[in-house]
Structures are given as C-alpha cells and as structure tokens.
Chain A
Amino acid sequence: MTCQWQTGLLVPQPCEMPAMGGCSLCGRSLCMMHTVSGPNGPACPTCANSNQGYEQNEETELESSRSSYYTQYGGANYFTNRDRQSVEREEVEGYDEFET
C-alpha cells in the first residue's frame, strides 16, 4: 500500500510513499509524514484539520488553505471526487469582505 494523501495545492499529486498505517477517521492509508496524531487516533491532514485536538503542522495548515480556496472559488472541476467530499465543510467568509 502507498500513501493516498494528495500533496500540493496548484498541482495536486499523490504522495505515493509507502503507507505505514491509515487514517482512523476516513480510512485512507498514510505514510509517516502525512499522519497526524490526536485524540481520535492517527488521522490524515484533512481529518486532523476538521477535528478538535489535533496538532497543527505544515500539512494541516496547507489543507486548511486548500479547503478555503476551494470554498471561495469553487475549485472548478479541479479536485477528484474524494477530495471534493473531504473539503466540502463549513463555509468560509467571502473573499471580498476585507475590501470594505
């Protein structure tokens, strides 16, 4: 098994490192680098970002910006279905509210 995490923001690409385990929340297999520890067991950055109590690292921060760009700009037909499901969460504020 290889890691099913997608790296990157503008050019998403599967990680493909050997998987060491899986996300205890969504089940996808993960390498060491993309496993985040927290109260509900090891999780992928998406689940760590949407669940309380998980440590924040570069990957979870990137995931948080990735999902905000997705909700703000629709993401076109840009994400795979699995990723679309994973990022369709709470709405973020409109991107032009800081203009006023």
Chain B
Amino acid sequence: MKLKDLSPAARLAAETQAIRGEWEYSAFDQLLKDLIAYDTVMDARVAFRKKWMIVAIILAFVGLFVGILVIDNGDGEAGAAILVGGIVHMITTIVLWRKAKKQALPENALAMLQQLFRQVRQDLDTKATIRVNVDLSGPTKAKCGPKQVLPPNGFNSREQWVYADPWCQLRFQLRDGYKLTLRQVDQLIELRRTRRTSRGKYKTKTKYKKLCRLTATILPPAPVQWAGQPKVDPTWERLRVAKKKGLDVAVLDRWFLYKEKFERPKQNPSGADAVGMLYRLCSMRPAEAK
C-alpha cells in the first residue's frame, strides 16, 4: 500500500507520523490495518534501497580506480565522468535509503495498538470513543538529551546519550463506566565506549538499551472500595492506589528492558502485555461492578 492509496486519515497519520483525536473502535482498527500495510511496503523499500546503496558504494570505489586509470591513459574527460558519476550515484542512493527509512513506521508499536484493542473491543463503551495521542516518529534528534560524560571505568572514555520518547497516550471507557488509560514512555540509551587496544588503536563500541515504561490506570465512575490487590511482579512492576479529584484511582506501572549490540532495539511490549495490565486493574473492581 502506497501513500496515495491510503485513506485520508491513514495518509495524514503516515505523513505526520502521529495519530491523534477521538476514534471509534472500527475506524481506529482500520487505520492501524492501513498503516501496518503501508509500513510493510516501506520496510521492503528500505531493504531494497539498502541493497542498491551497497552496490552503489562498491561501484563508486571501482569507478574511482577505473576513472584514475582512464585519466592516466590520457582521456581526462571520460575518466572524470566515471569518477564523478560513481560518487553522485552513490550519494543519490544514500539519500534515497535514508528518506525511505524516515518514512517507515514502528511496526511493533502499531501491532501493539492493534492487538490491544482487538482484545478489549467487546468491553468498550459503544457510546464513547477512544482518545488517542500517539507519536510514531521514534527517537528523533529532538528527543535526545545532552551528551553525558560517564566515569571511564577502565575505558578511555564513556559517553552516553538518552532519548526520552513519551509516544503513547490512550484513554477509553468500558461498558461498566470505568475508564482506562494507558501511557508508554520509551527511554533509549546509547552508550559509546572507547578503548585503546594493545596496538595503540582506539576502538569505539556503542551499546543500545531501550527501557519502556507502560503505565495503566483505572478510574472508577464514582468513589469505590477496591476489592483487593492483583498479582504484581515485584521486579518489573509497581502498583499504586491513590485519590485523584476525589476518585480512587489505581495505577500499575510495568517496565520492559531490551538490549541490542549493533542497533537500536526495535522491540516493544505487545498488546497482550498491555491487556494483562488492564486485566489486573479491572480485577480490583468491587463485586457489583463485575
């Protein structure tokens, strides 16, 4: 599915890399389906352009030698054309690859939203809408904090960049009047360590860590006495019960950690992870609400 084939809503979301506003379940599900189809095409394009770029880089190198050889043999114009042509072609492919990469969407985030609402679809209040504020642009430069210089710890230097990406906010109402919210904040940490090898060369390695924090909240339609506490994993989760505007709210946080050695982690909590949190918050409702 290409950009021009998308529905106006999906096109807007793909172009702005954001989903906002109030949505009916079926329209939201259709939007996610369209965006996932669009992203599949974009991912294929990124893969294709990457291959093309690699070929172009090799050709540019070959062109460099061939061009110099031709110039040496007296044909300066043809040699320069081969040389410059190879480099221009290489730059073009790099630009196109990066452009496609920017257009691709985070498929795991879209899949999470799709699975989440497909599972709770029958529980939604049909008279209410889903309030959505989703940013699909990922850890861009604007979300990166200042460079942190860490104690070297045996390395020559350790530098760290932290991206904060509060990309997901959802709010919807259940058939029994309870409101649920879900928020996700991602923290991407890039740690660059430089070490001097025994031969005196400097070697730099970057490690990537992604810490996702999912926060689910249940808001009752009127003050309640919670029925009890659900199962909570002490390592990765925290449950808080508080009062907000006179209402008893329960908040469940869950952290997810992903590590990668060579690139930014693409993983994301699944929709089932999110539903598992909502499910437990819902089990706190007093009996008459069930």
Query: Residues on A close to B: CB < 8 A?
Result: 7-13, 58, 62, 65, 68-69, 72-78, 95-96, 99
Q: Which of B106-122 contact A (CB under 8 A)?
A: 118-120, 122
Any A CB within 8 A of the CB of B283: yes
When the two chains form the complex, which single residue of A10, A13, A73, A77 contacts B231, counting CB atoms closer than 8 Å?
Answer: A73
Interchain CB contact under 8 A, A7 and B283: no
When the two chains form the complex, which single residue of B257, B272, B290 contacts A65, counting CB atoms closer than 8 Å?
Answer: B272
Given A62-B119, A65-B275, A11–B174 Cβ distance below 8 Å? yes
List the 7 closest A-B pairs by CB distance, nearest first: A76-B283, A8-B122, A10-B123, A11-B123, A10-B282, A8-B123, A69-B279
Given A9-B122, A77-B287, A78-B283, A96–B233 Cβ distance below 8 Å? yes
Taking the closest CB of chain B, its distance from the CB of A100, in whole angstroms, is 10
Interchain CB contact under 8 A, A76 and B228: yes
Q: What are some 22 contacts across the A-B interface (CB < 8 A)?
A: A8-B122, A9-B279, A10-B123, A11-B123, A11-B174, A11-B176, A13-B122, A65-B272, A73-B276, A73-B279, A73-B283, A74-B231, A74-B283, A75-B283, A76-B228, A76-B283, A77-B227, A95-B233, A95-B273, A95-B276, A96-B236, A99-B257
Given contacts A9-B279, A65-B272, A77-B283, 14 further A-B contacts (CB under 8 A): A8-B175, A10-B120, A10-B123, A10-B279, A10-B282, A11-B175, A11-B176, A69-B279, A74-B230, A75-B283, A76-B227, A76-B284, A77-B287, A95-B276
When the two chains form the complex, which single residue of A13, A65, A95, A96 contacts B119, counting CB atoms closer than 8 Å?
Answer: A65
Query: Residues on B close to A: CB < 8 A?
Result: 118-120, 122-123, 174-176, 180, 227-228, 230-231, 233, 235-236, 256-257, 272-273, 275-276, 278-280, 282-284, 287, 290
CB neighbours of A8 from chain B (8 A): 122-123, 175
CB neighbours of A96 from chain B (8 A): 233, 235-236
Taking the closest CB of chain B, its distance from the CB of A67, in whole angstroms, is 12
Which residue of the partner chain B has the closest CB to A72? B276
CB neighbours of A68 from chain B (8 A): 272
Given A74-B231, A76-B227, A9–B120 Cβ distance below 8 Å? yes
A96 CA to B235 CA, complexed, in Å? 10
Taking the closest CB of chain A, its distance from the CB of B278, in whole angstroms, is 6
A13 CA to B119 CA, complexed, in Å? 15
Interchain CB contact under 8 A, A7 and B276: no
A82 CA to B234 CA, complexed, in Å? 31
A41 CA to B149 CA, complexed, in Å? 68
CB neighbours of A74 from chain B (8 A): 230-231, 283
When the two chains form the complex, which single residue of B119, B176, B227, B273 contacts A9, counting CB atoms closer than 8 Å?
Answer: B119
CB neighbours of B230 from chain A (8 A): 73-74, 76
Taking the closest CB of chain B, its distance from the CB of A11, in whole angstroms, is 4
